[in-house]
């Protein structure tokens, strides 16, 4: 239903308001060869209300597979930089909703997640590893940019 920037723009344009926004899902968007997640994030940054960050690799047949956060076809650091810059812009505008909540998804199985029952894609340790990586990336970007 929503697989590219045009679909996302249709949602935003259906009710033109800063309160009408999107969840930026780099896994879903990254599954499509035609999508550049960094460019989509940059174009729609004012309307991103939530970020759902994960990575995928794609093959020539259009198939995709989830992979470790920094080992796929989606440029996660570039997307994070766009989100950090948008948060700073919102702060300067005095917006109460300046923060863009984010979460990783579909963490890799590791440690004692292996062999346990859990909701598929939502293992504890793999997701905690991913959130630590994302927070570290965010802090590194802010530090490098003097924020």
Phi and psi torsions of 95, nearest 5°: -75, 135
Residue 45 pLDDT > 60: yes
- pLDDT value, residue 125: 67
For domain 5-144, the CATH superfamily is Divalent-metal-dependent TIM barrel enzymes (3.20.20.150)
Phi and psi torsions of 4, nearest 5°: -155, 180
Residue 136 pLDDT > 70: yes
How far is Cα 139 from Cα 84, in angstroms, rounded to an integer?
9
Phi and psi torsions of 139, nearest 5°: -60, -40
Structure token digits, residue 27: 């896994």
Check: CB of residue 137 under 8 Å from CB of residue 77. yes
Is 91 in a helix, a strand, or coil? helix
pTM of the model: 0.88
Tell me: the pLDDT tens digits for 63-101?
Answer: 998 888 899 999 999 999 999 999 999 999 999 989 999
Sequence ranges of the domains in the chain: 5-144
């Amino acid at each position: 239903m929503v697989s590219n920037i045009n679909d996302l723009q249709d949602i935003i344009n259906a009710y033109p308001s800063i309160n009408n926004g999107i969840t930026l899902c780099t896994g879903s968007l990254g599954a499509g060869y035609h999508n550049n997640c960094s460019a989509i994030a940059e174009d729609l940054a004012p309307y991103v209300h939530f970020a759902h960050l994960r990575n995928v690799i794609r093959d020539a047949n259009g198939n995709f597979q989830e992979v470790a956060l920094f080992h796929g076809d989606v440029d996660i650091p570039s997307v994070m930089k766009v989100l950090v810059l948008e948060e700073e812009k919102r702060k300067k505008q005095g917006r109460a909703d300046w923060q863009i909540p984010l979460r990783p998804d579909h963490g890799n199985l590791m440690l004692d997640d292996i062999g346990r029952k859990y909701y598929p894609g939502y293992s504890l340790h793999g997701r905690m590893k991913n959130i630590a990586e994302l927070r570290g990336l965010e802090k590194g970007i802010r530090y490098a940019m003097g924020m």
